[in-house]
Structure 1
Amino acid sequence: MSSSPGPGSSAPFTLTGSLQRLFSHVRIENLVAGLSGGVVSTLVLHPLDLVKIRFAVSDGLEVRPKYSGILQCMRSVWHQEGLRGLYQGVTPNIWGAGASWGLYFFFYNAIKAHRKEGRQTELSSTEHLLSAASAGAITLCLTNPIWVTKTRLVLQYSTDPTKKQYKGMTDALVKIYRYEGIAGLYRGFVPGLFGTSHGALQFMAYEKLKRDYNKYRKMQSEAKLNPLEYITMAALSKIFAVATTYPYQVIRARLQDQHNKYDGVVDVIRRTWRNEGLSGFYKGMVPNLIRVTPACCITFVVYENVSRFLLEQ
């Protein structure tokens, strides 16, 4: 006799009940606050993101411009294409960052509240890590096509607009889907999935720093901090996460790059190691740190204040 649940089994209802409890914890305020933080930080710091990606894929191909440093790269793009050049790919970046931060905070807070339901004790660091990893995986499934289009737009080097492969975000999405299918829109998904560990480590560190600091102040763990304190917690947690997981961003950018073809993650790792050594996996890390640390601080300060304001309303 089959052991699968029959019509009278309670398993489907248990699953339904669990999902209902999870969704009872979702708050649109977290989505709006996270989206606001992502959009503001992206608008301010997109040029540094462009520089980071161009350094990350600098593998010696003739098609690529040669840059000696961050400032020289920014000056070169400015002289050739002006402000528009520095903001290539900003549209999908705004969509991607806004959606990613909004959805991340949205799912993270719901999962965290669901785990804490009916408990008097605080969540452990491992539980924060798992909550953030789950939120990151869900968010990546929804936003990966946006990140592919951003990478493609950022890596259009020609100063002649007629030679550019994509006219904008929508054109890139349509062309990638038309010529490469769903697989093209999900290039870099595997290293991106690994990259959820980046967000998970960051949120784990951020929550622990806040909790330990409030214990030191003899305050409740969720007590409000001032902007400088939020900035400090966000910066320390981001530096920790970047230093731990940066190579996946190089691998992901190279998989999404239209100028070079790889057979998958293992091929990227093998060729990067053979041609560039260990340093190849850390290309672009300095401009990335210069960009993501203030971006993270802006995002978290905006998020904490907007979400608290909206929830109080």
Structure 2
Amino acid sequence: MDNRARSVGAATSGPISLLRHVKWEHLVAGMSGGVVATLLLHPLDLVKIRFQVNEGMGLTTRPQYNGMIDALKTIARSNGFVGLYKGVTPNVWGTGASWGLYFFFYNSIKTWMQDGNSKQALGPSRHLLAASEAGLVTLALTNPIWVTKTRLCLQYEKGQSSSLPTGQYYRGMMDALLKIYKLEGIRGLYKGFVPGVLGISHGALQFMTYEEMKNAFNAYRNCPVDTRLSSSEYIMFAALSKTFAATMTYPYQVLRSRLQDQHHKYGGTIDVIRQIVKYEGAKGFYKGLLPNLLRVTPACCITFVVYESIISFCTKRQEQLKDKTEGNCE
């Protein structure tokens, strides 16, 4: 009987028990935060991508900008306010889906590692592992959306995209997805996947730093690690963790954007690295970093505050229902 009990315990602690820890509110909360942040800050993302793919080799099909403010003014002057939101549809879908799936998978894996005990601190290495696993699954599901977002963001003003083949001019997100698949196949939809895999370290570093700062803060206050914090505290930890992760891993975003760019063809990730080093030097790997930090830091803060607020609401709601049920039983 003891052997049977041990075998049952082993079975329930295996990967199949992960399903017991799935909570859909993390998916909804993450998507909500991602969508709100994207709608507010997409113009900075547009400028970041255009800086990232600027090789500095005299490519005349691209508009040239004298800094972030000049880029925003030039785009708005040429295409109006709507021009600042080129590529916003796949960005909303991609960011919403990415944050939603990331939070969903991360918290499911994390809760599974804790065996359902939210007061158990995992430590840096297990936070890194959970975040890396969540990032890989999320990237595999969303990479085609990011390719379409990059392509749409790089459709410049009229006359500057005229050199592209007809099949590479896109009327919108679905048109881009279908044309990329038709002309380039599955490989086209997964361009930039390799540097994207390298970029999983970004999310892993961010979530590890965020979790460890929250845990250390709660330990300082002599509170359980799952104690809910105030919005200002979430903003502070989100900003610090995002700035750290973004600065440490930014070069992979440059590589991914260039591989997904329809105006220049590369022979792969190594070829992109070689050309950047040859023509632009080390600073080429950090093009667009300023608009990126100005975008991702507040975007992360907005996302995390919306996410944590929804989770706090759901937690309080569940506790109220539990108290009500227990009261009725008595």
TM class by shorter chain equals: over 0.9
- For residues 131 and 121 of structure 2, the distance between their equivalents in structure 1, rounded to whole angstroms, comes to 16
Selected match of 1:188 from 189, 192, 202? 192
Asked whether the equivalents of residues 62 and 160 of structure 2 are also in contact (C-alpha less than 8 Å), the reply is no
Shift in Å, 1:158:
2.5
- For residues 128 and 112 of structure 1, the distance between their equivalents in structure 2, rounded to whole angstroms, comes to 7
Shift in Å, 1:298:
0.2
Equivalence for 1:26: 22
Computed over aligned residues only, the root mean square deviation of the Cα atoms, in angstroms, reads 1.8
Long gaps (5+) in structure 2? 1-9, 163-167, 318-330
Equivalent runs, 1:46-85 vs 2, <5 Å:
46-60=42-56, 61-85=59-83
Equivalence for 1:102: 100
Opposite residue 187 of structure 2, the aligned amino acid is A
Equivalent runs, 1:112-191 vs 2, <5 Å:
112-117=110-115, 121-159=120-158, 163=162, 165-191=169-195
C-alpha distance after superposition, 1:61-113 (max 9, x if no partner): 11111111100000000000011110000000000000000000000000001
Selected match of 1:249 from 246, 253, 262? 253
Shift in Å, 1:184:
0.1
Opposite residue 139 of structure 1, the aligned amino acid is T
Distance 1:64 1:15, change over 3 A: farther
Q: Does 1:44 align with 2:56?
A: no
- For residues 280 and 161 of structure 2, the distance between their equivalents in structure 1, rounded to whole angstroms, comes to 33
Opposite residue 265 of structure 2, the aligned amino acid is K
C-alpha distance after superposition, 1:188-242 (max 9, x if no partner): 0000011010000000000001010111112111111111110000000001101
- For residues 116 and 42 of structure 2, the distance between their equivalents in structure 1, rounded to whole angstroms, comes to 42
Asked whether the equivalents of residues 30 and 307 of structure 1 are also in contact (C-alpha less than 8 Å), the reply is yes
Asked whether the equivalents of residues 63 and 156 of structure 2 are also in contact (C-alpha less than 8 Å), the reply is yes
Equivalent runs, 1:218-257 vs 2, <5 Å:
218-257=222-261
Equivalence for 2:276: 272
Name segments (4+ residues, structure 1) moved above 6 Å. Answer: 14-17
Asked whether the equivalents of residues 29 and 311 of structure 1 are also in contact (C-alpha less than 8 Å), the reply is no
Opposite residue 54 of structure 2, the aligned amino acid is S
Selected match of 1:216 from 213, 220, 241? 220
The normalised TM-score by structure 2 is 0.88
Equivalent runs, 1:277-288 vs 2, <5 Å:
277-288=281-292
SS in 1 for 2:14: helix
- Which protein shows a greater Rg? 2
- For residues 161 and 259 of structure 2, the distance between their equivalents in structure 1, rounded to whole angstroms, comes to 25
Asked whether the equivalents of residues 81 and 159 of structure 1 are also in contact (C-alpha less than 8 Å), the reply is no
Task: Give aligned pairs, total.
Answer: 301
Equivalent runs, 1:193-204 vs 2, <5 Å:
193-204=197-208
Long gaps (5+) in structure 1? 1-13
Shift in Å, 1:118:
6.8
SS in 2 for 1:24: helix
Opposite residue 148 of structure 1, the aligned amino acid is V
Selected match of 1:35 from 31, 40, 56? 31
Equivalence for 1:260: 264
